[in-house]
Amino acid sequence: MTLTKATIIEKLQEELGSAGFTKSKSSEVVETLLTIMKDTMEKGEDILISGFGKFQVREKAQRKGRNPATGDAMMLAPRRVVTFKCSGRLRERINGGE
């Protein structure tokens, strides 16, 4: 099952509901966090979350490509992409160790 934004909001509210976190407050927190992350990456800056991993913005140069539908050669424009590298602790948890 894929973890969605709605599921994150729901789980946050469940975990912190006893502390007065309503569903709308949980939604506001998640939206604010995602906005901060998007704004940071838009500036080309990386995001490092200890114990979780690192989101990196990387530059890709212009390169030759091929249209898969027609097979025609074409030039792909330079662009920025986001990569994620998980932390060692997260990798251990994913692979069964805690």
Helices of type H across the chain = 5-16, 23-42, 88-94
Q: What is the mean pLDDT of residues 73-83?
A: 95
Q: Residue 98: its pLDDT value, please?
A: 60
Residue spans per domain, the chain: 1-43, 45-66+74-98
CATH number of 45-66+74-98: 4.10.520.10
Q: Residue 20: its pLDDT value, please?
A: 82
Residues of the chain above pLDDT 90, percent: 85
Is the pLDDT at 17 greater than 90? The verdict is: no
Q: Measuring CA to CA, which residue among 82, 64, 81 is closest to residue 73?
A: 64
Task: Look up the pTM and report it.
Answer: 0.80
Q: Residue 96: its pLDDT value, please?
A: 86
Q: Using CA atoms, how far apart are residues 73 and 66, in angstroms rounded to an integer? A: 4
Q: What is the mean pLDDT of residues 43-57?
A: 96
